[in-house]
Structure formats: C-alpha cells, structure tokens
Amino acid sequence: MKPILFIDMDNVTVDYYTQFAKYVKEITGILFKYKLNELTSFTCMKWLKEYFLEEKAVQVKEKIFNDIKFWTTMEPMPDAIEIIKLLENKYNVYISTSAFVSNSNSCVLGKIEWVKKHLPFIDIAKLIYCHHKYLLKGDYIIDDLPRVVEKFTGKIIIMDYPYNRFYKADYRVKNWKEIGELLL
C-alpha cells in the first residue's frame, strides 16, 4: 500500500500571501512591504492592521475572502504541480486545507475549482476541508502552520517561513524541489 500523504494549500501549494497582497493593493492602493519569505505572521488580520484600523481591516479582509476569484486564480508555488504529480505515483495524496475562513461559500467553492483545474490527476474526493489536521491519520503531512499539525501522528514536514521557525518539525523544507528530494 502506498504511504498516505496530506498536502496543505495556502502558502504551501498556492501562493496565498502574494495573492492577498495583490488584492489589498487593488482595493486600497496600499502595497505590503513584506515579501512571502519575510513574513513573521501568518494571519491576514495582522498584515492588514499594520496599515489599517480594525474596522477597515475587517472590511478589506471580508471583501477579499468573499470574492471567489481570489481563491480560483491563485498562482501555484514554483514546481508544486509537477512535484505533486510525481508524488501521486508513489503516495496516496490528499489535499488537506482549511476552507471556512469567511462567512461566505467563496473559499469552499473556490478551492474545489482550483484543485480541479490545477491538480486534475487528483480525485476531487481527496480534497479534505479540515482545520484540525492533527486528527488526520496518515504517514506524512506537509504544512506551514505548526498549530494545526503539531499532534499529527505521522511525520510532519514544515514549509519554512519566519513565522514557523520556532517549531521543530520532523523535516523542514524551503521549496517544492526540496520536498521532491525528500519524498521521491
């Protein structure tokens, strides 16, 4: 039997932060000063509150999250699609991602559309919407957020960012090439 591998979407398979920054720029004219690899926080409210008061930050966040195009037009991370395709031959691959980030269905529906378009070789039934990912049972999980995976019973592979460096994972990788070297 192939080992079971769970793969996260935001900031792992897709460039969530850069897309978010692009939408903030379009809506407000504000250009975030940090790049993805400089982030010390994962939370979009923290990013927004460097530039806006709470009320405006919530408004901007909701506007972005409610737009299905925000979710369907994200760029894949470099090499992600190619490596996932190769991994699919050796592993039983599931996409494990949180999708309940706003009061609308845009994220839920948008992520289905994204996976169908970019990962057509993965059965859509293997898209798992899950926030408490440590409840999943499998051999490996790739994620960027320690708090959602830290009690996972398989091996934890963390996609490296400044905001997760406090955490000692089983493996730490900087990009998809390194994931390929580790798992293929």
Residues near Mg ion (CB under 5 A) are 8, 10-11, 144
Torsion sign across C-alpha atoms 33, 44, 37, 167: positive
Position 24, amino acid: V
CB of 10 to Mg ion, least distance (A): 4
Choose between 52 and 143: whose C-beta lies nearer to Mg ion: 143
Our CB check for Mg ion shows the closer of 67 and 144 to be 144
Q: What residue number has its CB nearest to Mg ion?
A: 10
Least spacing, CB of residue 29 vs Mg ion, in Å: 27
Question: Shortest gap between Cβ of 153 and Mg ion (angstroms)?
Answer: 20
Cβ atoms 114, 71 nearer than 8 A:
yes
Positive or negative CA dihedral for 152, 99, 69, 54? Answer: negative
Among residues 43, 40, 77, which one has the least CA distance to residue 165? 40
Does residue 127 come out as left (phi exceeding 0), alpha (psi in the -120 to 50 range) or beta?
beta
Q: State which residue, 13 or 52, has the beta carbon closest to Mg ion.
A: 13
Best CA proximity match to 49, nearest among 26, 71, 66, 24: 24
Q: How many CB atoms lie within 10 A of CB 65?
A: 20
As measured in angstroms, the least distance from the Cβ of 182 to Mg ion is 18
Residue whose CB is less far from Mg ion, 141 or 183 = 141
Q: How far is the CB of 16 from Mg ion (least distance, A)?
A: 7
Q: Which is nearer to Mg ion, 8 or 67 (CB)?
A: 8
